[in-house]
Structure 1
Amino acid sequence: MSTRVSRRAAVLGSLAAATALSGCGSPAARGLFGVAPPEGQLSYWNMFTGGDGANMVTMQEEYLRSHPDVQLDATVLAWGTPYYTKLTLATSGGAPPDVAAVHLSRLQTLVQADLIQPLNEPLLREHDLAPGRFVPAAVQKSRYDGRLHAVPLDTHPFVLFYNIDVCRRAGLLGSDGRLRPIRGPEQFRSAIAAAARVTGGYGGVVNITKDPSTNWRWFATLYYQLGGRSSPTTAPGSPWTTTSQHGR
């Protein structure tokens, strides 16, 4: 292994966020890269606050109960560009955290900048982190140039909640009292219309948060389910355009 590895971080990513592993000093680095680390010390950077932050603290506490000999230094930094600026500068400067959370959308950029290294898949399997344990789409997104650079941590699915009383009155429940299967856009629109007739208002709503990425995630969900095949693209001097097999 080149001495350059000791100045780089190995980043583990997910569709939304994941962990990053430094090549200079963590216990895991010794196994993955053959680098001798200081014993009992583990630094970890993440950007989780709110409910995500509470869950992460719970995970950290569970880890420490299982590894009482480890001194964990967990740091929460501002989400977004400030976080990645600090992570990049620290890694390039030879002082990265042992573990850091990242978004998979950043993976390609980090690999091309020579800031991360591929993971040792046989070693991951030894520690019950085989790719087969994770959502296939997340694992595929964690690969770059055919090599695994990340272990998925979380994803951002859209979940449908329904009002049982409204759906019963709209005739949308089966004999078991559960929502009947809804297949395809036509059935979905019909179900929403039936619910709207019961409520006298909206048949469904979409959660809106301050995070602007929610709009794009929802757009992409509907776009590809309707048969969209290419990503939205633009050319210099032209408006945004999208193409799909339906011409939508």
Structure 2
Amino acid sequence: MKLMKAALLASVTGLVAVPALAQQEVVWWDFLAGGDGVRMKALINQFNEEHPDIQISGTTLEWGVPFYTKVRTSAAVGQGPDVMTYHLSRLPLALEEGVLTPITDDDLAAADLSKDDFFPAPIQAATGDDGQLYAIPFDIHSLVLYYNKSFLEGSEFLDDNGNLTGIGSLEDFQRALDIAKENGSETPLSYQTGGEGGVFRVFYTLLAQQGGTLIENGEVLPGDNVEKAVRAIQIMTDWSEQGYTPEQAEYEASVALFTSGQSAFQLNGVWEVPTMNDMAADGTLGYEWGAVQVPTLLEQEATWADSHAFAIPVQGDEEMDPAKREAVMTVIGWMEKHALAWADAGHIPAYKPVADSAEYKAMEPNATYASLANTAVFDPRSPIAGVASPVYDAAINVIAPAIHGYLSPEDAVAQIQSDLQGLIR
């Protein structure tokens, strides 16, 4: 007891240094730029301030193929991060390459999480064929329909509160587009018609709304999915021929058509919600807007979606130190519980306690389209699918020319089958 008192007295008077807490450094990689990057950096800084014993050392790498290539090569030699962001659409390729470690029940417990805390669709997308969980979903980011209220004033498509209503079929939507055109919208429906992402997301949504599938059991467009794919491309072609959509619009141009007030509608990801909110707040937007789940234009509710998730890569031939792994899971658990700040970027939290919270339900337009978490359709479970994949290449190399009249929908589908089937091992 005397020794303890002496040590305490000495530490107070500065005669003896008090040992610092052992600190775990968690090496973090992500691919988040723009508003996503700003929000994630803020979360990392907040975590570090609250956890002197665990410090995240973050690095942002280039999105897409460069990121996933670096993950693959670094994992092989044990030079990768301790934790990283990952698109769930890329999980099948990751499992084929063997670059991810399973997330065990003990890991989830260390993060104070369970599978039941998450929406089923992203959990399924994060699970391998062996039943093991290989990533923890952070959000659901999907295609939504943005609308400019000024082009629909006085029509059947705005309710008494000025919210979009009355679109329950393809015919309804086309009537709304016609009304918008009559009211001065030069290009009523904007989306990225000259880029792989926009083309694929719209095509895949229309395919899924028919109950269609792109790849199943290693076969590209099996059975009547050929007819469903042709129909999806024909709809996109019709929109182009009728002057509803822009010709070969790159991403930035497709967004500008809507934000400048030229397009009445925009099919784009939830990630543009901050752009709209910021422009509305600083007075540069010039009209009232909203965003909703993509209406059911065909036979069933379905919307293309993906998830940012957290994953732990393999470390070459080495096993991660248990204390380090516990620190990594602490980071992931904290991020999930603070996902409201991430939702500010337009995303739907995959962690249901946050998605069900009063704070999230007060966020608009997020709360309006949050229902799509239950109807989200993820990319095909195939190593050739997902962001920056051969499937996305097919969207720009085959589907885009078709919707602009350079290829018939039937020929486009035949080429997609031929191109993609040859890549499936």
Same fold (TM over 0.5): yes
Shift in alpha-carbon separation, 1:203–1:82, aligned structure 2, 3 A: closer
Q: How does 1:77-226 map to 2 (within 5 A)?
A: 77-121=61-105, 123-124=107-108, 127-145=111-129, 146-199=131-184, 201-206=186-191, 208=192, 212-226=196-210
User: Which one has a bigger Cα radius of gyration?
Assistant: 2
Shift in alpha-carbon separation, 1:245–1:167, aligned structure 2, 3 A: same
Assess if the C-alpha contact under 8 Å between 1:139 and 1:151 holds in 2.
Answer: yes
Assess if the C-alpha contact under 8 Å between 1:230 and 1:244 holds in 2.
Answer: no
- State how far apart, in whole Å, the 2-side matches of 1:200 and 1:123 are: 53
Match of 2:371? Answer: none
Corresponding residue to 1:243 among 213, 219, 226: 226
Q: What per-residue deviation string (whole Å, max 9, x for no partner) do you get for residues 50-109 of structure 1?
A: 111111101111211221222321111222233222222221112321111222232122
Q: 2:26 aligns to what SS in structure 1?
A: strand
Corresponding residue to 1:49 among 33, 36, 57: 33
Shift in alpha-carbon separation, 1:192–1:137, aligned structure 2, 3 A: same
Q: 1:83 aligns to what SS in structure 2?
A: helix
- State how far apart, in whole Å, the 2-side matches of 1:90 and 1:202 are: 46
Shift in alpha-carbon separation, 1:121–1:184, aligned structure 2, 3 A: farther
- State how far apart, in whole Å, the 2-side matches of 1:169 and 1:109 are: 50
Structure 2, unmatched stretches of 5+, are 1-21, 232-425
Q: What per-residue deviation string (whole Å, max 9, x for no partner) do you get for residues 156-197 of structure 1?
A: 312222222321233321233322242122222222222222
Assess if the C-alpha contact under 8 Å between 2:207 and 2:229 holds in 1.
Answer: no
Match of 1:8? Answer: none
- State how far apart, in whole Å, the 2-side matches of 1:180 and 1:72 are: 45
Assess if the C-alpha contact under 8 Å between 2:152 and 2:158 holds in 1.
Answer: yes
- State how far apart, in whole Å, the 1-side matches of 2:211 and 2:68 are: 34
Between the two structures, name the one with larger relative contact order (CA 8 Å, sep ≥ 6): 2
Deviation, 1:42, is 0.8
Assess if the C-alpha contact under 8 Å between 1:185 and 1:226 holds in 2.
Answer: no
Match of 2:220? Answer: 233
User: Normalised by the size of structure 2, how large is the TM-score?
Assistant: 0.43
* Aligned AA (2:126): S
Deviation, 1:141, is 0.8
After superposition, the CA RMSD in angstroms is 2.9
Shift in alpha-carbon separation, 1:200–1:162, aligned structure 2, 3 A: closer
Q: 2:207 aligns to what SS in structure 1?
A: helix
Aligned pair count? 205
Assess if the C-alpha contact under 8 Å between 2:158 and 2:165 holds in 1.
Answer: yes
Identity %: 31
- State how far apart, in whole Å, the 1-side matches of 2:90 and 2:128 are: 11
Deviation, 1:130, is 2.6
Assess if the C-alpha contact under 8 Å between 2:157 and 2:167 holds in 1.
Answer: no
- State how far apart, in whole Å, the 1-side matches of 2:134 and 2:37 are: 24
- State how far apart, in whole Å, the 2-side matches of 1:121 and 1:85 are: 29
User: Normalised by the size of structure 1, how large is the TM-score?
Assistant: 0.70
Shift in alpha-carbon separation, 1:136–1:201, aligned structure 2, 3 A: same
* Aligned AA (1:92): A
Assess if the C-alpha contact under 8 Å between 1:194 and 1:203 holds in 2.
Answer: no
Deviation, 1:120, is 1.5
Q: Which moved more, 1:125-134 or 1:185-194?
A: 125-134
Higher helix share: 2
Assess if the C-alpha contact under 8 Å between 1:227 and 1:244 holds in 2.
Answer: no
- State how far apart, in whole Å, the 2-side matches of 1:147 and 1:54 are: 32
Match of 2:55? Answer: 71
- State how far apart, in whole Å, the 2-side matches of 1:209 and 1:43 are: 38
Deviation, 1:210, is 7.9
Q: Which moved more, 1:165-174 or 1:216-225?
A: 165-174
- State how far apart, in whole Å, the 1-side matches of 2:40 and 2:80 are: 20
Point out 4+ residue stretches in structure 1 off by more than 6 angstroms.
none
* Aligned AA (1:72): I
Shift in alpha-carbon separation, 1:199–1:134, aligned structure 2, 3 A: farther
Assess if the C-alpha contact under 8 Å between 1:111 and 1:117 holds in 2.
Answer: no
